[in-house]
Amino acid sequence: MSDMSDMNDIPEPSNESIPDFIQLQQIPVNYIQQVETDLLEPVVFTQGSATNTGFTRFTLQNKGFLHSHSKIFMSIVPESTNSDVYFAPQIGIGQVIKKAVLKVGNKILNELDSWNSLYAVKSSLITNESNIDRELATTARWLNHKFVYNTDSEVFASNIGLNTEVEPEADKLFLPDWATMDANKPAECPTYMIDLSDLFPFLKVHQLPLYMINEPINIELTFEPTTKFRTQIGTSDTVDIAMNIDRNELKFCADYIFYGASDEMERYANANKDMSFSFVDYRLTEHTTSQTDLASGVIRNLGMANRLVSRIITTIGADASTVNEQSILGQHNSLSPFVAADGTSGVVKYNIRYNDRFEYTSDVDNTARLFSILADSEGVPFLARAEYSNEGVAGSITNTESYDGRDQSVNLEGQLFYLGSRLTNGRVGQRGIELFLSGSFNPSGRVPNIIKSYCEYMRVARLTDGFMEIFNA
């Protein structure tokens, strides 16, 4: 019987050919891989306040390849009083992070403001099963649905609703005790994680060769203000209580990968003294609006002149001053067109114009088609029809089971309406991109105030003799 621990039994890779260690999923299995894990403390940390954002910075060591699925760990502790604190189900711990920046030296590789709102959109692509079976414990995302059966029936369900996999009590749903934060039990507040590749699109396709870079590499995170924005609270909890980041639990778990049994990494570095990386980044454009403006139609210039833009994601949100921390979804929702009591859909029109052409030959005015082009652009969102467009059978979101006393139909219907388009007309010209949008967006009394558009565009990073240059494609 052979000794499986004998590293000499592993075939040596050819000296003539070294694989591309940068590209994910390109490494042959016959290469020895070793992983070194460091638990890094922040070099800078500020908590923030009720009116000011918080901030932290991590500095990586220049060794090995940075594993794209390294994690940032974080825990929230209520400052006082509140005992039923949780994260919004469509975003989880990502609710805390307002801005994410990855820097090499003084050059910015990835940067995005309002990162948490985009994260909420991307999180809609996670299956219900994954949310409740995995994400609730790891990232605090728990947008999971169940059928709500009619009284005295085990076969007929006219409603759907949230599913926490905790048995309702007096028609009230709750999260498991371990998934909520209690000011009286700070040591029991859960710690969650955020995947580095979710923060920085560069790491979706590349592993960063830290050992080949002669500049400091920093991760910088800006946190939401301490009150109203970081978490949601129970209906019996006190509003405007600070939700503090536990400094002792804030860590960066960095996995450094080393390839080969001898000098493969050195030979790779010598053979790639000048190398380029193509990747995507996102640019946010925000515009204020009003119900009146949207009803008559708005045209908003998103910029992006002379850039290779591949996709656009747009949300319609309410004014931050109206954020209700006792709601289910918090501020990171997106309002759907208004639907009348008879189920008639409100008027909506959507289009994108650039290079003197409209992306769609006629304005898209059907919510089913809007959902379809969103799916073509991003993938299929795991959302109920009523959550997306507020359409369907009246009251299809249950109001018989509340979530901790909050009516699910009021809090969920028409609150997750995302617009997404994949662009096909090539590089954007000098006039930039124009968003055309009109409609009545006012479900459940929430008034639209801000339009956020995230443009995905191509960038190139060039690593030459240990120093990085970054420019638009």
pLDDT tens digits for 408-441?
998 998 899 999 999 998 899 999 999 999 988 8
In the chain, the domains with their CATH numbers are: 25-472 (2.70.9.10)
**What separation, in Å, do the N-terminal and C-terminal C-alpha atoms of the chain show?**
55
Q: What is the pLDDT at residue 396?
A: 86
| CA distances from residue 261 to 11, 13, 30, 266, 463 in whole angstroms, order as listed | 10, 9, 10, 11, 25
Q: What is the pLDDT at residue 13?
A: 40
Alpha helices in 76-154 (DSSP H): 115-123, 128-130, 136-138
Q: What is the pLDDT at residue 297?
A: 93
DSSP 409-465: HHHHTT-B--EEEE--S-S--TT-EEEEEEE---GGGPPEEEEEEEEEEEEEEEEET
When pLDDT is averaged across residues 440-457 and rounded to a whole number, the result is 85
202 backbone dihedrals φ, ψ, rounded to 5°: -55, -40
Average pLDDT of every residue of the chain:
89
Tell me what percent of the residues of the chain surpass a pLDDT of 90.
Answer: 69
Amino acid symbol at 254: A
Banded pLDDT at 15 (limits 50, 70, 90):
very low
Tokens of 431: 């006039």
| pTM summary value | 0.91
Distance CA 97, CA 95 (A): 6
Question: Which residue bears the tokens 């652009």?
Answer: 377
For the chain, helix, strand, coil in percent to 5 are 20, 35, 45
When pLDDT is averaged across residues 218-230 and rounded to a whole number, the result is 96
Most trustworthy range by pLDDT among 166-170, 316-320, 340-344, 429-433: 429-433
pLDDT digits (tens, 9 = 90+) for 184-207: 999 999 999 999 999 999 999 999
Tell whether the model's pLDDT for residue 9 goes beyond 70: no
Cβ neighbours of residue 378 under 8 Å, at least 6 residues apart? 121, 122, 125, 311, 313, 420
Task: Compare 240 and 447 and report the one with higher pLDDT.
Answer: 240
When pLDDT is averaged across residues 345-358 and rounded to a whole number, the result is 90
Distance CA 387, CA 272 (A): 49
Distance CA 276, CA 260 (A): 23
Q: What is the pLDDT at residue 259?
A: 86
Specify which residues 253 forms β-bridges with.
Answer: 39, 71
231 backbone dihedrals φ, ψ, rounded to 5°: -145, 175
Tell whether the model's pLDDT for residue 272 goes beyond 60: yes
Say if residue 215 is exposed, middle or buried (CB neighbours under 10 Å; 0-12, 13-18, 19+): middle
Distance CA 408, CA 321 (A): 22
Nearest one of 23, 26, 68, 67 to 198, comparing CA atoms: 68
Tell whether the model's pLDDT for residue 70 goes beyond 50: yes
Tell whether the model's pLDDT for residue 117 goes beyond 90: yes
Amino acid symbol at 362: S
Q: What is the pLDDT at residue 14?
A: 42
